[in-house]
Structure 1
Amino acid sequence: MQSQDLAVNGIKLHVHMAGPETGRPIWLLHGFPECWHSWREQIPALVAAGYRIFVPEMRGYGRSDAPEDIEAYDVLTICADIQASMTALGQHDVCIVGHDWGAMVAWHLAQLEPQRVSTLVTMSVPFAGRGKRPAIEIMRELFADRFNYIIYFQQPGVAEQELDADIERSLLIFMQGASSGNLLLQKRPADSKLFDGIATPGELPHWCTAEDFKLYIETFKKDGFRGALNWYRNFERNWQKTEFLQDVKIEQPTLFLVGDKDPVATLEAHTISRMPSRVSSLEQHQLSDCGHWIQSEKSAEVNALLLGFLERHFPA
């Protein structure tokens, strides 16, 4: 692995790189609350297949800059980080792979860059175009009388105070509870905190070693969770700024993966069912006995599906 700071889009973006310099470029975009190391099982497999891999620490995370302003984290600005990076590196034909929030960035990059982003892989978060209303409006109506973590994240400083108080515990709970839905789907009063009634897991999940976990913790030591949470505070702004993409379908060959125990599969079932109407060339798979952290929990299956898809649509 190599790493480099790229001065792009008004920030410093820290990017990890691996593989032959002549290999076709693949970008791996992580989600929340993850880090570049969440792709640790995919990087060697992709490098062995002959690809050049680029894994950024996304805006607000780790060694990349974390601007103070909430407005600095709307989806088009985050996309621009990757677009400017591709330009700086002279890339004209790439595959974008994204998980969780990284998947949302990947979906939008495919719309914004139909020529340069020739192949798309998304995991855990589906996409069926811009909604008729901002998603946060709908959430506030649906969860007027009960807790919802995204609504809880909206007030600046509140979630940060809870999550930053014990970064190790916060990440451990996310890894265990957010994977299968215990943390996100549990019914609680609207004025609850995120971890109210949630016990601290006694051990790491089977897919994360102590050494791996140290890198997750290191990611949030510098700036805490503030930058990462600011992504959630732009739902309405994202909706307003993407009106020009309203009718843009995704024409690139696209692979979508989701776990059968992922709470997103339940919460976004309607979106998943609508994807074929907005994604013209879609291949999708649901992995059995798998939660939200799909590329870690089922790394062998993910790698097999990913490499098979790439061989057909983005050969090294």
Structure 2
Amino acid sequence: MFNPDDFPKPTLISVNGVELEVFEAGSENSRNPIVLCHGWPQHAFSWRYQIPALAAAGYHVIVPNQRGYGNSARPNDVTAYDLAHLTGDLVALLDHFGYDDAVFIGHDWGANVVWGMALLHPNRVSKLIALALPYQERGDIPWVELIEGFMGPDNYMVHFNKHPGVADAILDQNRLRFLRNLYRKNQQPHTPEPGMAMINLAKAEVATGEALMTDAELSVLDAAFEVSGFTGSINWYRNLDRNWHLLAGVDPIVPHPALMIYGERDLIPKSPNLSDFVPNVEIVSLDTGHWIQEEKPKETTKTILDWLK
């Protein structure tokens, strides 16, 4: 397991009108930047196993806590968490370091932001790697309505939008229990309980599967969300339909070299037509659940480094 004391120390960097808490490794002199983007409800710490290996391979590794997380800024305006702002932060981060472009790697929501970078700022992306979440096709129906039609009103993404503030408060009140119950591995397939899944996790006394993190590792996330609360990060979901409108008229094809890493036991479905939208994609599946780079750190890191070569 990883010793949290070995994680890089952060710097607060002013970009795009906000301050971001940024962790770095490797040499800026390498002129070989790679940006790692975490998901929800995560932290830059989720990349703890990949950062040393990427730095050793000659990359300047840049790992922000994105807006709403950790000690990064938490704007009050919900629309400040749309895809234009999230990708704008990363563009400004490249500008701060003097880079024209970079390799971008994202997991979960971070993958969505990386796909957004390729769509909204294609010249700032050299290659991209997505974990867990494949490219999301922009269809004719806004995303919250689409999700509700398939998954029902209790789906957590729908609930976040239809009942603002409700889940935020429950997760804040049950922070450590929620995180401990969420970060599990080797869970057996089971029928979900009725109700909103994230609220259920926050209230459940007993979790299934095995703990993904040691208590010391979990304490990093617990301390971060004690500072930030959950509202800023949940506001990313409250911009799903705004993002759908923002992408209207944007060329939907991602021409960049891309690697898609799925967790074979992840509940997020694989894309049946990924190569239609990402013609230069290579697809790899690992025997993991959702927390790919933490469940199988050596395999994930090797997959990333082999593809980058």
Q: Same fold (TM over 0.5)?
A: yes
Q: Deviations over 1:286-315 (max 9, x none)?
A: 112x1000000011111111001111xxxx
Residue 215 of structure 1: how far off its partner (Å) = 0.8
RMSD (Å), alpha carbons: 2.3
Equivalent residue, structure 2, for 1:152: 159
- Within 5 A, what are the aligned runs for 1:47-86? 47-86=55-94
Equivalent residue, structure 2, for 1:235: 240
The answer as to 2:308 corresponding to 1:303 is no
Distance 2:209 2:189 in 1: 18
Equivalent residue, structure 2, for 1:280: 279
Contact in 1 for aligned 2:175/2:202 (Cα 8 Å): no
Equivalent residue, structure 2, for 1:200: 206
Q: Residue type matched to 2:213 in 1?
A: C
Residue 129 of structure 1: how far off its partner (Å) = 3.1
Distance 1:305 1:192 in 2: 31
Equivalent residue, structure 1, for 2:139: 131
Distance 2:283 2:187 in 1: 20
The answer as to 2:230 corresponding to 1:222 is no
Q: Deviations over 1:231-277 (max 9, x none)?
A: 111111111111132x3311111001011110103xxx3xx111100
SS in 2 for 1:208: coil
Distance 1:191 1:38 in 2: 22
Equivalent residue, structure 2, for 1:13: 20
Contact in 1 for aligned 2:101/2:124 (Cα 8 Å): yes
Distance 1:244 1:113 in 2: 14
Gap change, CA 1:228 and 1:158, over 3 Å in 2 = same
Aligned-residue identity in percent: 35
Equivalent residue, structure 2, for 1:251: 255
SS in 2 for 1:263: coil
Q: Deviations over 1:192-232 (max 9, x none)?
A: 94338844338962x42222111111110112101011111
Distance 2:245 2:265 in 1: 32
Distance 1:114 1:191 in 2: 35
TM-score by length of structure 2 reads: 0.90
Equivalent residue, structure 1, for 2:112: 104
Residue 16 of structure 1: how far off its partner (Å) = 0.6
Task: Report which stretch shifted further, 150-159 or 163-172.
Answer: 150-159
Residue 190 of structure 1: how far off its partner (Å) = 7.1
Distance 1:14 1:156 in 2: 26
Gap change, CA 1:180 and 1:19, over 3 Å in 2 = farther
Distance 2:10 2:199 in 1: 37
Distance 1:239 1:187 in 2: 30
Gap change, CA 1:158 and 1:95, over 3 Å in 2 = same
TM-score by length of structure 1 reads: 0.88
SS in 1 for 2:99: coil
Which of 93, 106, 116 in structure 1 is aligned with 2:124? 116
- Name stretches of at least 5 consecutive residues in structure 2 with no aligned partner: 1-7
Distance 1:240 1:45 in 2: 38
Contact in 2 for aligned 1:143/1:190 (Cα 8 Å): no
Equivalent residue, structure 2, for 1:314: none
Distance 2:188 2:134 in 1: 17
Distance 1:191 1:30 in 2: 21
Task: Report which stretch shifted further, 224-233 or 170-179.
Answer: 170-179
Residue 113 of structure 1: how far off its partner (Å) = 2.5
Distance 2:193 2:156 in 1: 11
Task: Report which stretch shifted further, 188-197 or 78-87.
Answer: 188-197
SS in 2 for 1:244: coil
